[in-house]
Structures are given as structure tokens and as C-alpha cells.
Amino acid sequence: MLQASRRRLRPFVMTALATIAGMLPLAFALGAGSQMLQPLAIAVIGGILISMALSLIITPAVHFYRSGRDFKAQVTQPSQLQPTP
């Protein structure tokens, strides 16, 4: 689970931050006609932040606690991992 989280963290955060950066001009009401779209931009930014927290923190934690397995038994040493073709 930790290895999968490390692998997916960077692309997920980069995508979320790029979307948030694209919505910031609308959220700050910069530009012509952007005051009409300001509430939408704020809602999208909030939704992305919440979904990022749910995907990276809450969902793995719930999965860990519901699985009922010993986490330390699942962790393997890097020397024991086999390379994937």
C-alpha cells in the first residue's frame, strides 16, 4: 500500500495543482466576466482539495483498518522485490 501511494502521489498532486492554478484567476475574479464564474471556481478548487485529501489520506487509512491484516507482515524489503518486466 505504501509503495502504491508513493508511486501515485506525484502525478495526482501535479494534476490537482495544475487544475487549481488554472482556476485561481477565476476565483480571484480577475479578468472580464469572471465575477460570474467566481463561485464555480471556488467550488471546483474546494472539491479538488477535498478529493485529494480523501484519495491520499482517508481512503488508504480506511482500507488499512478494514482489511484487518498485520501491516508489518505485508511490508517487504527492497532487496526482496522482483523487478517487473
Interhelix angle 2-27/34-53, rounded to 10 degrees, is 170
| CB of 30 closer than 8 Å to CB of 38 | no
What number of CA atoms fall less than 13 Å from residue 8's CA on the CB side? 10
Three-state SS for 26? helix
Q: What pLDDT, on the 0 to 100 scale, is given for residue 77? A: 57
Q: Residues in the chain, how many?
A: 85
Residue where the block lists cell 463561485: 39
The radius of gyration computed from the CA coordinates of the chain, to the nearest angstrom, equals 19
Mean pLDDT for all residues in the chain: 80
Given a cut of 80, whether residue 24 has pLDDT beyond it is: yes
pTM of the model: 0.66
pLDDT in tens, 42-83: 999 999 999 988 888 888 788 888 887 655 555 555 555 566
**What's the mean pLDDT in 16-45?**
89
Q: What pLDDT, on the 0 to 100 scale, is given for residue 23? A: 92
